[in-house]
Chains A and B, each alone.
Chain A
């Protein structure tokens, strides 16, 4: 077994500027597409909410415009300041609002939904209410992104059913590990259904909770409601503005690529269960390039392996899925990569491998590498207070490796996670590239999460996207519109 440590990879920003950190990179150099005609220099924002929530969020965006001071902490690299969002500051872009692009939901509409429906029906009706308002608004044209700001009373009714948030870095990746609990009632996520229904609109949606612009989350303790402070304001400002920039068509950063390397596409292949939690699993592919531009393609239903019950695709379906994914990618980005790396969240079968390789061949792509990626129970421990460093890699045997993506971060001088970090374990089914290089790529790909400007993501985007995409796709009925680009899913 071989032990290696990978240094934090660089990202590229405007003017060829590089930095390992997203926030310092944007602050110092500006977003990657700065000056590009397609960069959203005037970011037109539509708003759907109550009069109160619309006013509150506009006020907060105005407050963020000149910048937000950093959190008081000695961890200066973990909590940087927000430089502001205007044509004169780092992003060189400003948010543009207009009363024409605001659609107010009346309190009586909300009351009607809350009093006359129950459970999942409340979720459906609430989402329909928001999407109908959004549709009216967008008919006139204008906004590049639609921000939905539901009020607290509505969220309390729809969120209650789902239970507390879980740390996504702790969640299992592979579908086979999910136990099917027939007694758990189906619950629809307001956020996921909103995104699913919103697919019929031509621009992406962004949902913003009151905690983001108010900074406090109400939490019930018995009969009392307490306010629990959340992320510091600068971090919240960073995350929301960067997400809006990306959704409006901007490219804030990309992976630094070596010109000598082949242009590569990274494909995540995963499966998701239907809403009613029966055993039906549908396949989906997420294709990303190093600019983090992603396309999503739905595939056929999976079969379940009779022995270990992991999902897999028959050869023809595997072939069809990857072929379609590459086609959609070409349509969107007008280019074909020279190399494809597939990250599959369940075991690769020989049939699948043949199907994937045939699809790549049809597009004249010679290099196809197949990996299984999952969260491991194998761990490493330091003789100290802090867990192992992000970038720690152990080659377990010729075809598999253990990689810490979550871990202590030297740049932050701390471990910013919740529990003892769980590394990823990946196994190559077929690969020409050495294991170490595949691991380094995964480390880079963990920095392409547009929802989080803290770069130490716990999963490569291929895998992280899988969960998000699956959660939303399962809310889309058969035959419903599926937007091909990842901007609509994040």
Chain B
């Protein structure tokens, strides 16, 4: 009865792998059954089979040590090694539904009848479970080149497209005598208010989300020529020229909205944090975290001179329209300065260097930060609503995925690289972000 429970455990786990278990006949001593491996994603047989022997022990879980020994009958070992089919031994304790396995031919590779037949199992590495499929595959098909479809595993993929949930209801047009933006700035600064960049000058027309019949815009616009139109006449227009103008206006409005803590730098064509070293809290996928928005560095040259510079989180922005939904495409980057504002002399080299470091997680955390930063905050002290209101990042559900831990176990260098990035870029620990 207990023996049958051991076999049932193997069968249950093999079925979890979506492979087949066939018990051996009553006359077959030494082998309890055969595992036929199937590709779980396509349900196709792989033409690979292993033999399995089950042994039951009374109480594995009572023993808390990380390893345990199991003594095999030498006759069994000799039998298992005789054939060409790979054989696994599964030692289980059905009372606790734990099973541990080993590939017999590998363990007893150079075995002779005089050799010992005790197997030492390491519990943490040899637990028999659904994920053991990959290792079973390697034993059954030792030659490389077998192709399996990616596992069916629901995953969410996040894009760098931030949904635009709303803009001001009206766009205002007015005539102006100004021919160049510098003319406009000169007039605006005279009015002593803090003018923003949320406008476009096109020909002799002045365009903005601001009501141009109000200060300080009256200084720039010819009063009596101010007209307001529904924003939807532009945001929903299929005309490429209108769309082009609308994008220009959105870009300008974004600059005004983010100023002064995030400035637009026209040479680098990016928005970047300004100022001193600072960590900024943000809402990541599952919890609040902090990111180094501006980091301070220093290095000492051989001649003793000390160089200091700052790394500012930045992003390139592009407004895009997909099937009537406006989005902001965010491409994270960095700006290196000597004083919080002016570019540091090695900006280009440092940027190239950092791009070489960045992997999937590093860039995702930057995108998540900016998405959160751009979204409207609930501020008790002001009722100001930013003109452009952003929503969530567009995301997609995938039915296939990757089991990162499995791949990393064969490619530890990749994982180490990801950790190096996290440390050098002062990123939050993303394990915390993804596992609440």
A in complex with B? yes
- Chain A interface residues (CB < 8 Å from chain B): 1, 3, 5, 7-8, 19-21, 24, 27-28, 74-77, 80, 377-389, 392, 394, 396-398, 408, 410-411, 413-415, 418-420
Q: Which residues of A contact B155 (CB under 8 A)?
A: 382-384
Q: A82 CA to B269 CA in the complex, in Å?
A: 47
A21 near B147: Cβ-Cβ < 8 Å = yes
A residues within 8 A CB of B208? none
Q: Is the CB of A5 within 8 A of B322?
A: no
**Further 14 A-B residue pairs, CB within 8 A, beyond A383-B156, A384-B360, A414-B411:** A3-B396, A3-B398, A5-B399, A24-B144, A28-B145, A74-B411, A77-B145, A381-B158, A382-B360, A392-B398, A396-B323, A398-B323, A410-B148, A415-B414
A8–B400 alpha-carbon span in the complex (Å):
13
Shortest beta-carbon distance from B119 to chain A in Å: 24
Of residues 141 through 184 on chain B, the ones whose CB sits less than 8 Å from some CB of chain A are: 144-145, 147-150, 155-161
> Secondary structure at chain A's binding surface: helix, strand, loop or mixed?
loop
Binding site for A on B (CB under 8 A): 144-145, 147-150, 155-161, 285, 316, 318, 320, 322-323, 329, 331, 355-356, 358-361, 363-364, 367, 394, 396-402, 404, 406-408, 410-411, 414-415, 418, 434
Query: What distance in Å separates the Cβ of B158 from its nearest Cβ neighbour in chain A?
Result: 5
CA distance A77 to B142 in the complex (A): 12
Chain A nearest CB, measured from B249 CB (Å): 17
A378 to B157, CA, bound (A): 12
Contacts of A1 in B (CB 8 A): 322-323, 394, 396
Q: Are A383 and B158 in contact (CB under 8 A)?
A: yes
Q: Which residues of A contact B360 (CB under 8 A)?
A: 381-382, 384-387, 420
Complexed CA–CA distance, A388 and B323 (Å):
24
The B interface is mostly helix, strand or loop, or mixed, namely mixed
Q: Which of B150, B355, B361, B414 contacts A5 (CB 8 A)?
A: B150
Can you list 24 pairs linking A and B with CB atoms under 8 Å apart?
A: A5-B150, A5-B398, A8-B147, A19-B147, A24-B144, A28-B145, A75-B410, A379-B159, A379-B363, A380-B157, A382-B402, A384-B361, A384-B434, A385-B359, A385-B404, A386-B407, A387-B359, A387-B360, A396-B322, A397-B323, A408-B402, A413-B411, A420-B359, A420-B363
A377 touches B364 (CB 8 A): no
Interfacial chain A residues near B322, Cβ < 8 Å: 1, 396-397
9 closest pairs, A vs B, by CB? A76-B144, A74-B410, A24-B145, A381-B364, A3-B396, A384-B404, A410-B150, A397-B323, A380-B157
Give every chain B residue within 8 A of A380 (Cβ-Cβ).
157-159, 396
Residues in B whose Cβ lies below 8 Å from that of A414: 407, 410-411, 414
Residues of A within 8 A of B316 (CB): 377
The docked-state distance in angstroms from the alpha carbon of A420 to that of B285 is 20
In the assembled complex, how far is the CB of residue A162 from the closest CB belonging to chain B, in whole angstroms?
17
CB distance from A28 to the nearest CB of B (A): 7
Bound CA span A407–B336, Å: 29
Chain B residues with CB below 8 A from A411, complex form: 147
A150 to B318, CA, bound (A): 46
Chain B residues lying within 8 Å of A410, measured Cβ to Cβ, are 148-150, 402
Contact partners of B320 in chain A: CB under 8 A: 378
Q: Which residue of B lies closest to A415 (CB)?
A: B414
Please give the distance in Å from A412's CB to the nearest CB on chain B: 9
Out of A21, A385, A419, which one reaches B414, CB within 8 Å?
A385
Q: B367 contacts A384, CB within 8 Å?
A: no
Partner of A378, one of B329, B355, B397, B411: B329
Q: Which residues of B contact A419 (CB under 8 A)?
A: 355-356, 358
- Chain A neighbourhood of B363, CB < 8 A: 379, 381, 420
The CA-CA distance from A74 to B396 in the complex, in Å, is: 32
Quote the shortest CB–CB distance from B50 to chain A (angstroms). Answer: 19
With contact pairs A397-B322, A397-B323 given, residues A389 and B402 touching in the complex (Cβ less than 8 Å): yes
B402/A381 in contact, CB under 8 A: no
Determine the residue in chain A with the shortest Cβ distance to B138.
Answer: A76
Q: Which of B147, B285, B356, B408 contacts A418 (CB 8 A)?
A: B356
Query: Which partner residue on chain A sits nearest B323 by CB separation?
Result: A397
A472 and B396 alpha carbons, distance in the complex (Å): 42
State the Cβ distance, B430 to closest chain A Cβ, in Å: 8
CA distance A382 to B397 in the complex (A): 10
